[in-house]
């Protein structure tokens, strides 16, 4: 039964004449709790001329529900205290109570922009436990759909990054590309976002005419279209001068923070799981690993756009070399892997996405640990933000491209 207030008797936190005597409507003081650790004590002790500013969990550009308490001196950020867990859905625990097939659908919404990669890592780990040989056609379809998903993810990154720097137009263009890609993936997998497509030992459905015709259509003009979209930002002097030198992270610091993916490649470390620890059919495919040495926001942006071009190359090769054959390995319906542990890592659009599975011989995983790159990269925010202006905080955060679904799990 809902509590209702008769007309005129309700209390409003906005009305200065209303004295709030109940707990409801009172703003949480900062800190919201007595400091529990030395770090909290240090952060919540303001220095001379310092103030706190709360940002989130509802903020138009925190890319989800992230709350950051900023300690400011004037307009300079002195220190930050991120508060996580606003999107903690307990995925890992739910996976312990689902059988191996069911976990795939639970894992989809972790990095909801690149769902196929969230399935890919755990599926490879399960296949290692089960000693399954995946048919080659299934591997090609995985790589093909995965690279499409990578392009969609980077397209969204481009739009958001520009949006956080104050440019409104690019997101309109990037969503055109993204919508075309997810529509063709929907023709393949049946869903626009949470595909639930990879299976243990293969994929769910074969390539169909609808998907291939959409893909052919798009590929015939993708290169030109992407160049047009990139010209919006790359040739925009305001954007380039704003993003250059913003949030610079050098090679040693990036390694120390365990960054992976485009973020570390923009700092000069040519680490890519597709080459360093090859999986699937990537050893047979010819593509480059773009690397940059500046380590700033502009480099991270440009590097992702270079990756899009490499992804187009990979898709071309997949379509040329696509073999015939089955798309699923022969497996029993109920899977009981041998007791043991398996680790598998793949290169997602945000970096190394890993899955660590412990099997106890039953049809449900005993433990499934997800290593998510967004969580790792969010650590870097604490190292990057101090010294920057308040207006740059969102731009730096956006250049790292975290997804809160993966951070909070």
For 23, the token pair is 């707990």
156 in contact with other proteins (CB under 8 A): yes
* 71 contacts: CB under 8 Å, gap ≥ 6: 43, 46, 50, 51, 52, 77, 78, 79, 80, 81
Please pick, from the candidates 188, 318, 404, 407, the single residue that binds other proteins as defined by CB under 8 A: 404
Which one of the spans 3-11, 235-243, 307-315, 379-387 is the region binding other proteins (CB under 8 A)?
3-11
Q: What is the 3-class SS of 181-194, one letter each residue?
A: HHHHHHHHHCCCCC
Closer Cβ to other proteins, 11 or 367, answer by number: 11
165 in contact with other proteins (CB under 8 A): no
193 in contact with other proteins (CB under 8 A): yes
Please pick, from the candidates 43, 44, 55, 64, the single residue that binds other proteins as defined by CB under 8 A: 64
Beta partners for residue 238, in sequence order: none
The number of C-alpha atoms within 13 Å of 110 and in the hemisphere containing its C-beta is 34
Cα–Cα distance, 147 to 116 (Å, whole number): 9
Peptide bond into 47 cis (omega under 30): no
Please pick, from the candidates 106, 263, 280, 291, the single residue that binds other proteins as defined by CB under 8 A: 106
3 in contact with other proteins (CB under 8 A): yes
* Least Cβ distance, residue 112 to other proteins (angstroms): 4
192 in contact with other proteins (CB under 8 A): yes
Strands (E), 13-153: 50-55, 67-73, 76-83
Q: How far is CA 386 from CA 72, 74, 404, in A?
A: 9, 13, 22
Q: Which residues 199-258 are close enough to bind other proteins by CB under 8 A?
A: none
275 in contact with other proteins (CB under 8 A): no
* Least Cβ distance, residue 5 to other proteins (angstroms): 4
391 in contact with other proteins (CB under 8 A): no
Closer Cβ to other proteins, 10 or 39, answer by number: 10
Per-residue exposure over 146-168, b if at least 16 CB sit within 10 Å of its own CB, e if not: bbbbbbbbbbbbbbbbbbbbebe
CA angle 340, 277, 114 (to 5 degrees): 85
Nearest to 247 by CA among 369, 361, 80: 80
17 in contact with other proteins (CB under 8 A): no
Closer Cβ to other proteins, 64 or 295, answer by number: 64
Cα–Cα distance, 26 to 13 (Å, whole number): 7
356 in contact with other proteins (CB under 8 A): no
Please pick, from the candidates 15, 42, 88, 238, the single residue that binds other proteins as defined by CB under 8 A: 88
341 in contact with other proteins (CB under 8 A): no
* 42 contacts: CB under 8 Å, gap ≥ 6: none
Could you tell me how many residues of this chain bind other proteins (CB under 8 A)?
47
| Residues 88 and 67 sit within 8 Å (Cβ to Cβ) | no
Closer Cβ to other proteins, 109 or 326, answer by number: 109
Which one of the spans 29-37, 101-109, 122-130, 380-388 is the region binding other proteins (CB under 8 A)?
101-109
Please pick, from the candidates 30, 53, 94, 253, the single residue that binds other proteins as defined by CB under 8 A: 94
* Least Cβ distance, residue 66 to other proteins (angstroms): 11
Please pick, from the candidates 30, 53, 176, 212, the single residue that binds other proteins as defined by CB under 8 A: 176
Which one of the spans 91-99, 133-141, 240-248, 360-368 is the region binding other proteins (CB under 8 A)?
91-99
133 in contact with other proteins (CB under 8 A): no
How many residues does the structure list for the chain? 409
Q: How far is CA 366 from CA 130, 199, 313, 359, in A?
A: 15, 19, 39, 5
For 173, the token pair is 């263009």
Cα–Cα distance, 64 to 392 (Å, whole number): 18
Please pick, from the candidates 57, 167, 326, 382, the single residue that binds other proteins as defined by CB under 8 A: 57
Cα first-last separation, the chain: 32
By the criterion CB under 8 A, which residues form the site for other proteins? 1-5, 7, 10-14, 24-25, 57-60, 64-65, 85-91, 93-94, 97, 105-106, 109, 112-113, 156, 171-173, 175-176, 178-179, 192-194, 404-405
């Amino acid at each position: 039964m809902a509590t209702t207030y008769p007309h005129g008797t309700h209390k409003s936190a906005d009305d200065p004449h209303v004295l709030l005597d109940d707990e409801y409507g009172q703003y949480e003081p900062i800190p919201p709790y007595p400091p529990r650790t030395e770090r909290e004590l240090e952060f919540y002790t303001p220095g001379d001329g310092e103030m706190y500013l709360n940002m989130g969990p509802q903020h138009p550009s925190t890319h989800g529900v992230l709350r950051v308490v900023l300690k400011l001196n004037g307009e300079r950020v002195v220190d930050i205290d991120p508060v996580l867990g606003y999107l903690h859905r307990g995925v890992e625990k739910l996976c312990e109570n689902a059988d191996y097939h069911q976990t795939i659908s639970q894992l989809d919404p972790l990095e909801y922009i690149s769902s196929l990669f969230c399935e890919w890592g755990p599926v490879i780990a399960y296949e290692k436990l089960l000693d399954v040989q995946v048919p080659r056609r299934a591997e090609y379809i995985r790589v093909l759909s995965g690279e499409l998903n990578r392009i969609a993810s980077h397209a969204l990154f481009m739009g958001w990054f520009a949006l956080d720097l104050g440019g409104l137009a690019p997101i309109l263009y990037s969503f055109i590309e993204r919508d075309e890609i997810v529509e063709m993936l929907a023709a393949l997998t049946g869903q626009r976002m949470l595909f639930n497509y990879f299976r243990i030992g293969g994929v769910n459905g074969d390539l169909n005419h609808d998907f291939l015709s959409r893909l052919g259509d798009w590929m015939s003009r993708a290169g030109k279209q992407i160049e047009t979209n990139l010209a919006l930002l790359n040739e925009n002097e305001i954007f380039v001068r704003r993003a250059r030198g913003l949030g610079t992270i050098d090679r040693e610091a990036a390694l120390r923070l365990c960054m992976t993916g485009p973020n570390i490649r923009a700092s000069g470390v040519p680490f890519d799981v597709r080459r360093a620890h090859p999986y699937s059919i990537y050893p047979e495919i010819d593509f480059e690993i773009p690397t940059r040495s500046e380590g700033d926001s502009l480099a991270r942006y440009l590097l992702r756009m270079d990756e899009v071009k490499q992804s187009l190359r990979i898709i071309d090769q997949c379509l040329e070399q696509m073999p015939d054959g089955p798309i699923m390995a022969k497996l029993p319906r109920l899977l009981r892997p041998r007791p043991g542990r398996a680790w598998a890592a793949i290169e997602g659009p945000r970096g190394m996405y890993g899955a660590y599975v412990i099997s106890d011989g039953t049809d449900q995983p005993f433990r499934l640990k997800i290593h998510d790159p967004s969580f790792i990269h969010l650590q870097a925010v604490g190292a990057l933000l101090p010294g920057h202006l308040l207006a740059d905080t969102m731009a730096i955060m956006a250049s790292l491209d975290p997804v809160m679904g993966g951070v909070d799990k």
